[in-house]
Structures are given as C-alpha cells and as structure tokens.
C-alpha cells in the first residue's frame, strides 16, 4: 500500500509525498501535492491502476509527442514507400505543429477534439482530417503499448463525415473519343479504360507482363513517385493479379524487348504521373469535350466565365469496371480484375451498376409460391392416400 508523508519546503510551506511500489515491486514516489487529500486521491488511483493492469509511471508521460512520433515512424517497416512518405508528411506537418512540443501526458481528448474542430473550421477536407487523426491515433496507441500512456485520447473521437465524390464513368463512345484525342497515347488510354490498371501499374508495365497468346496482362509491380524518385514495388495490397486483355487493346500495344517498358517516358525511363497528365491526359479530355463545367475566373482584371473539362486518370479505372459489368462480368470477376482485397469493396463501389431485376425476382417468387404442393393434392407429404374399404 502507498504511504503519505509531509515535508517542508525552504519557504516553510507544507507539501506531501506519496511513496508506493510499481507493478514490478520497485519503490518510487511522487511529491509536490499541496494537500493531503490530493495525495490520497493519487495513491488510490495508483492502486486501482495497478490492479487493472493500467498503471503508467508519471514520468513516462513526460515523453515528447515528437519523440513518440519519430519512434512510431521508424517502426513502420511494413508500409509501402508511398504510404510511409505520406505518413512522414503528416507527422512532420500537422501533428508536429499542434502536438510536437507537448508531452504525451498533456494530450487529452478535449485537446484532440479542439484540433479536429480547428481543422473543420479551416475547411480542411474531411478525408485529410481522417488521415491526420488516424496517424495521431496510431502514434498514441504505440505509446499505450510502450507503457507511456494509460489510455489513447484519440480513440473514438468524432470525425467529420466524408461525403464521397461522385464517380465518373465514361461511356464506350466517350472512351473512343478520349483515345482518339490522345493521339499516340491512345494505347495507354485503352489499357487504363478497358483493363482497369492503376496509373502506377501502367507506368511499371513491361513487355514480359503482356501475354498476347493468353490474352492477359500480369500485374506484378507498381511504380510510385516518392520524394521525387521513382520507387518500384508490388501492386497495391502486395498481391499480383492477372487482368483480361481484349484483343482490340492488345493490337494497339507497341512491341519491345521483354525487359522494356510498354509505356516509357519520351526521354526513356518511367513516366511521371503529373507530367503525363499535364502533357497528354488533360489536353485529350479538353479536346474530347468531356464533363464540361462553367467556371468564373478573373482574366485581365475582369470576371469572365470559362468552360473547363474535368476528368481524373483514376476514373478510367471506374470506366473499366463499368464496361466489365455491362459485358456481364460478375462481382468476383470485377474484384479480380481491379485487385480489390474483398469483393465487398467492389460491390460497395460498383454494385449500383448492376441491373436491379425486381420484376424477374417477383415473377420467380410468384411461380414458386403458387406451384401445387402435395398437400394441395389431398395428402400429406410422405404418406399414401388410402381408399375406404367397402363392406
């Protein structure tokens, strides 16, 4: 049990010290309580936390959040280079600015909630807030595991609702128009829009991955730009997959050595996503006149209305899913083509594209429910109807 002792400061003021044993039975103390009542409350809390297995040394909470974040980042060996880079950006940016100078013991749920409110008031996108709080939650969870915090103050805090952006799907006619507008880049447009590759997977595609005889693409890598350098890694989720390659698309693919890239940059090497979009994709979208929107802008000091055309390369992946569903592919086939970890992901995103055959279900149920049964024929199932015996 803890013991409480008074002591006198040089000024003559009375303070109280709590002596107790930690869970490992080593003695320790905490001093500085101005009243015996506060000292007793602390001692009682220590005993309860020891029994619950939730004891944290008061000194442990003095560890800086910046140091805890650095330790957490260093332990994320399992992350892809792009994800690790994104997390480092969040740690060095938003989290360092708000919490880096504080000790772990200073992080409270009200403080986390106020940070979220500040982000919302500053019109920070909800997706960004979720990512930032998610990283903070992971850092504090590791601090709990390491015995530096008793509970995670970022757990189960209320976050702003994410309103999903409306997905855009090109019709087959629009995809033809975009490919035609792209000129020499038409094969890349068709590979994205008909096979459902991610842009990083397109960038890393080599001729050895193209199996013309089987009519498939082997997706074995994805190339991502991390801190200004291309990083060659596995596809998202770490799993390779095989994607159907329609003959129409196969016939447009350039030929080359097995180790060569199918879609290299103009000067050789990997395409840069941003450069390709600026140089090829966006002009093709504008030329094809896809998804026009009127936008007010200031030109030469005067407000004027201009028409802009908006389509993201990733929406060609949505288009590939839409075309596959239109061709009769079931949800498992769509999952395999896109490389989703679970069919439920594909169903959540693209399930609305499947026709709702309500009339067909209604007819089938009506036929089943009105089908004659053995009971309707005058005898029970599994029994034989007996004729009366004449006298």
Kindly state whether residue 242 falls inside one of the protein's structural domains.
Answer: yes
| One domain for residues 101 and 118 | yes
Give the domain extent around 42. 3-55
Best CA proximity match to 208, nearest among 260, 248, 272, 281: 260
Write out the DSSP string of 103-118.
BGGG--HHHHHHHHHH
Summarize the confidence of residues 233-250 as an average pLDDT: 92
Q: Looking at 126, 145, 164, which one is the last position of a domain?
A: 145
Domain count for the chain, please give it.
3
Maximum C-alpha span of the chain: 124
CATH at residue 116: 1.10.150.130
pLDDT in tens, 44-98: 887 877 776 666 666 666 789 999 999 999 998 888 888 888 999 999 999 999 9
Cβ-based neighbour number of residue 117 at 10 Å: 11
| One domain for residues 127 and 35 | no
Q: Is the pLDDT of residue 157 over 90?
A: yes
pLDDT value, residue 387: 52
The model's confidence at residue 285, banded by pLDDT at 50, 70 and 90, is very high
Q: Is the pLDDT of residue 390 over 60?
A: no
Q: Is the pLDDT of residue 391 over 60?
A: no
Q: Looking at 40, 55, 70, which one is the last position of a domain?
A: 55
pLDDT value, residue 330: 92
Q: How far is CA 50 from the centre of its chain?
A: 38
Percent residues over pLDDT 90 in the chain: 61
DSSP 94: I
Q: Is the pLDDT of residue 364 over 80?
A: no
Min mean pLDDT across 138-147, 187-196, 220-229, 294-303 is at: 294-303
Task: Tell me how far apart the alpha carbons of residues 199 and 383 are, in angstroms, rounded to a whole number.
Answer: 67
Kindly state whether residue 100 falls inside one of the protein's structural domains.
Answer: yes
Kindly state whether residue 164 falls inside one of the protein's structural domains.
Answer: no
- DSSP, collapsed to helix, strand or coil, labels residue 39 as helix
Q: Is the pLDDT of residue 223 over 60?
A: yes
Kindly state whether residue 222 falls inside one of the protein's structural domains.
Answer: yes
Task: Tell me how far apart the alpha carbons of residues 375 and 24 are, in angstroms, rounded to a whole number.
Answer: 75
Kindly state whether residue 257 falls inside one of the protein's structural domains.
Answer: yes
Q: Is there a contact between 273 and 225 (Cβ–Cβ < 8 Å)?
A: yes
Kindly state whether residue 369 falls inside one of the protein's structural domains.
Answer: no
pLDDT value, residue 53: 65
Return phi, psi of residue 257, to 5°.
Answer: -65, 155
| One domain for residues 179 and 212 | yes
| One domain for residues 71 and 191 | no
pLDDT value, residue 307: 87
pLDDT value, residue 52: 67
- DSSP, collapsed to helix, strand or coil, labels residue 345 as helix
pLDDT value, residue 377: 60
Summarize the confidence of residues 150-165 as an average pLDDT: 89
pLDDT value, residue 378: 57
Best CA proximity match to 250, nearest among 315, 281, 205, 290: 205
| One domain for residues 264 and 221 | yes
Q: Is there a contact between 253 and 185 (Cβ–Cβ < 8 Å)?
A: no
The model's confidence at residue 376, banded by pLDDT at 50, 70 and 90, is low
Kindly state whether residue 299 falls inside one of the protein's structural domains.
Answer: yes
Q: Looking at 309, 339, 366, which one is the last position of a domain?
A: 309
Task: Tell me how far apart the alpha carbons of residues 114 and 119 are, in angstroms, rounded to a whole number.
Answer: 9
Q: Is the pLDDT of residue 26 over 50?
A: yes
| One domain for residues 197 and 269 | yes
Task: Tell me how far apart the alpha carbons of residues 213 and 98 are, in angstroms, rounded to a whole number.
Answer: 57
Kindly state whether residue 354 falls inside one of the protein's structural domains.
Answer: no
| One domain for residues 257 and 297 | yes
| One domain for residues 48 and 81 | no
| One domain for residues 69 and 128 | yes
Q: Is the pTM of this model over 0.75?
A: no
Mean residue pLDDT across the chain: 88
Where in the chain does DSSP place strands (E)?
A: 3-8, 14-21, 27-33, 210-211, 216-219, 222-226, 229-233, 241-244, 292-299, 302-309
Q: Is the pLDDT of residue 230 over 80?
A: yes
pLDDT value, residue 194: 96
Q: In what order do the strands lie in the sheet with 27-33?
A: 3-8, 14-21, 27-33
| One domain for residues 88 and 131 | yes
CATH at residue 279: 1.10.443.10
| One domain for residues 68 and 50 | no
| One domain for residues 10 and 32 | yes
The model's confidence at residue 381, banded by pLDDT at 50, 70 and 90, is very low
pLDDT value, residue 45: 82
pLDDT value, residue 55: 65
């Amino acid at each position: 049990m803890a013991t409480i002792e008074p002591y006198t400061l040089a000024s003559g003021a009375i303070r109280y010290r709590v002596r107790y044993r930690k869970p490992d039975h080593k003695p320790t103390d905490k001093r500085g309580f101005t009243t015996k009542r506060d000292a007793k409350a602390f001692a009682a809390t220590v005993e309860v936390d020891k029994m619950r297995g939730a004891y944290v040394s008061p000194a442990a909470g003095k560890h800086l959040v910046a140091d805890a974040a650095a330790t957490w980042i260093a332990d994320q060996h399992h992350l892809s280079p792009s994800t690790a880079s994104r997390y480092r950006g969040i740690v060095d940016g938003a989290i360092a600015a708000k919490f880096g100078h504080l000790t772990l013991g200073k992080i409270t749920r009200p403080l986390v909630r106020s940070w979220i409110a500040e982000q919302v008031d500053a019109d920070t996108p909800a997706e960004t807030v979720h990512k930032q709080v998610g990283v903070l939650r992971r850092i504090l969870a590791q601090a709990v595991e390491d015995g530096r915090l008793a509970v995670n103050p970022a757990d189960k805090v209320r976050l702003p609702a994410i309103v999903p952006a409306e997905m855009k799907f090109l019709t087959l006619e629009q995809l033809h128009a975009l490919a035609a507008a792209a000129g020499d880049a038409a094969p890349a447009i068709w590979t994205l829009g008909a096979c459902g590759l991610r842009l990083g997977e397109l960038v890393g595609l080599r001729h050895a991955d193209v199996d013309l005889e089987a009519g498939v693409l082997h997706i074995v890598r994805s190339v991502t730009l991390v801190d200004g350098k291309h990083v060659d890694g596995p596809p998202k989720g770490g799993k390779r997959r095989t994607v159907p390659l329609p003959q129409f698309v196969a016939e447009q693919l350039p030929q080359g050595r097995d180790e060569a890239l199918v879609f290299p940059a103009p000067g050789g090497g990997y395409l840069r996503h941003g450069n390709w979009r600026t140089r090829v994709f966006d002009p093709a979208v504008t030329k094809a006149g896809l998804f026009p929107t009127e936008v007010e802008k200031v030109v030469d000091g005067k407000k004027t209305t201009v028409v802009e055309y908006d389509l993201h390369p990733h929406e060609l992946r949505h288009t590939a899913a839409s075309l596959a569903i239109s061709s009769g592919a079931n949800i498992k086939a769509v999952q395999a083509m896109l490389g989703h970890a679970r069919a439920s992901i594909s169903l959540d995103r693209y399930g609305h594209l499947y026709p709702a055959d309500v009339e067909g279900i209604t007819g089938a149920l009506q036929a089943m429910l009105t089908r004659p049964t053995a009971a309707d024929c005058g005898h029970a199932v599994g029994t034989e109807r007996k004729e009366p015996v004449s006298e």
